[in-house]
Structure 1
């Protein structure tokens, strides 16, 4: 895990979301949730794009052995909840190969294996129906969309019990700086409240209500 990913992984997705808002970056993946609230992931995106099969047919893809350790597999299945693109064997190999986790704009199956191996999967839900002969992988390491957010190979993906955020690679240092600023302010508010100050006073004094406001 590189240093920027490591530092962002120490922050909550809520704090990163606030930083994205301040910077005017749309990076909150709507509707994507962890199979278990305790799951967390952090890494750089390794992407896969799916489409419905055509008359020529296609496969769901054999890519898992090429995913670098520490990456987050990000799969765009157009939000479909009627067929899955992730299951038992992929979970097994991903865990064995030290992949950081999987994010799917769609559903997964064999969720018990994910829990047994403590392998983080974030998706729109669970459904047992295979994507074989129903969808085909049409791109690897290409831009994809997950939860209405554009994700490109190498972007940073962070997930926790509240969901998934995506940090564009070219703005990651800027986002990290703002995250640290927001965290510092919130910690000072906690200290003031612990010392007996009213919360509303502490918020005003430390500019809490402007933390997420987009800067011009």
Structure 2
């Protein structure tokens, strides 16, 4: 069965969704999380994993990829660490083959060239080659995690594009999508009005551009 809210989110860019989150007073913009290619786009439901520092002896970095449903977004919380990667070429290849929608990491990944070659979307803080093996280990899966100062729960709606990643909590997604669609409609009307000869100042005033993202009271 098609997830209609995933379809709706896919039609909206992150800037519009960000404005909708602001209008509703919600936090969902993942600070510092960027695509490894500006061509990447990602939309789907979150599958979450939390990493922690490795014990002695070290635990595993995880053999989870075979369990993830097609269309899901892998969301990995590595605490923003920049010294140890938690995603590389084997995971990219398997995820791409399985139809996983993409990967979001609060931390770094490696093997960017294969992501680009396969067109598999990866969003992270940066890229570096140093492995996470014996440095980090899986603490838990299917739990709330933190990505760019945003709480992400399993099943939350994830949308990413060239500007970054937004997270829409399941309990708020209907309100956020409705607000974003309303904002998009107004911005499209402004573009149409300008193309038909109206000044931008007049078009923005008519369609309340400057208050589209203002928090509702």
SS at match of 1:29: coil
SS at match of 2:107: strand
1:86 aligns with: 87
1:123 aligns with: 124
Q: Distance in 1 between matches of 2:193 and 2:70?
A: 42
Q: Distance in 2 between matches of 1:29 and 1:205?
A: 32
2:165 aligns with: 164
Shift of 1:200: 1.3
2:55 aligns with: 54
2:27 aligns with: 26
Q: Distance in 2 between matches of 1:137 and 1:50?
A: 5
SS at match of 1:28: coil
Q: Deviations over 1:21-43 (max 9, x none)?
A: 00111000011111110000100
For structure 1, list consecutive stretches of 5 or more residues without a partner in the other structure.
none
Shift of 1:206: 1.2
Q: Distance in 2 between matches of 1:57 and 1:188?
A: 57
2:211 aligns with: 210
Shift of 1:69: 0.6
Q: Deviations over 1:133-177 (max 9, x none)?
A: 000010101000001100000000000000000000111111111
Matched, 1:100 2:101: yes
Q: How many pairs were matched up?
A: 216
For structure 2, list consecutive stretches of 5 or more residues without a partner in the other structure.
none
1:69 aligns with: 70
Q: Distance in 1 between matches of 2:156 and 2:4?
A: 14
Q: Distance in 1 between matches of 2:207 and 2:35?
A: 33
| Matching of residues 179-190 of structure 1 within 5 Å | 179-190=180-191
SS at match of 1:59: coil
Q: Distance in 1 between matches of 2:138 and 2:212?
A: 41
1:36 aligns with: 37
Q: Deviations over 1:168-206 (max 9, x none)?
A: 011111111111100110111111111111111111111
Shift of 1:56: 4.2
